[in-house]
């Protein structure tokens, strides 16, 4: 998964475009994985689309879906994550369908550094509370 990490990092800092326009690179994530109906980067969550896009390009297994929790059925579940592993979080409520997915970087003091898209409207490394983890 090191190759995935390095490829995503090449796009670090990519941002959504506010207003009626959208970032064409983010829209390309959706189109490349078969979701041609998406035309707005600020109204549609794109964390899973970004991961599916890069996994497809690199020939890795992928969820093929836009919901973050779909990544819980990809690969083998692990309990001790390493740099480059996929991490899935719950959003709003642990039993909700909503979630977030990204690439595990490291953890410190109960917080996980996560590389992902749709984090503060961009592709960056953000902190998430470990208590929100659904799986690695």
Mean pLDDT, rounded, for 115-133? 97
pLDDT digits (tens, 9 = 90+) for 36-92: 999 888 888 999 999 999 999 999 999 999 999 999 999 999 999 999 999 999 999
Q: Who has greater pLDDT, 42 or 121?
A: 121
Q: In what order do the strands lie in the sheet with 86-90?
A: 122-129, 111-119, 99-108, 86-90, 133-135
Flag whether pLDDT at 18 surpasses 90.
no
Residue whose structure tokens are 């003091």: 109
Q: Retrieve residue 89's tokens.
A: 């979080």
Residues 102 and 9: beta-carbon distance below 8 Å: no
């Amino acid at each position: 998964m090191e190759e995935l990490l390095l490829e995503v990092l090449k796009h670090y800092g990519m941002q959504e475009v506010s207003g009626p326009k959208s970032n064409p690179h983010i829209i390309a994530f959706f189109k490349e994985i078969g979701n041609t109906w998406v035309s707005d980067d600020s109204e549609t969550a794109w964390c899973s689309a970004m991961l599916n896009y890069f996994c497809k390009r690199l020939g890795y297994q992928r969820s093929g879906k836009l919901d973050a929790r779909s990544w819980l059925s990809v690969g083998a579940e692990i309990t001790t994550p390493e740099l480059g592993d996929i991490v899935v979080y719950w959003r709003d409520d642990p039993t909700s369908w909503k979630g977030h997915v990204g690439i595990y970087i490291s953890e410190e003091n109960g917080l996980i550094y996560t590389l992902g898209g749709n984090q503060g409207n961009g592709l960056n490394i953000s902190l998430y509370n470990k208590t929100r983890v659904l799986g690695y």
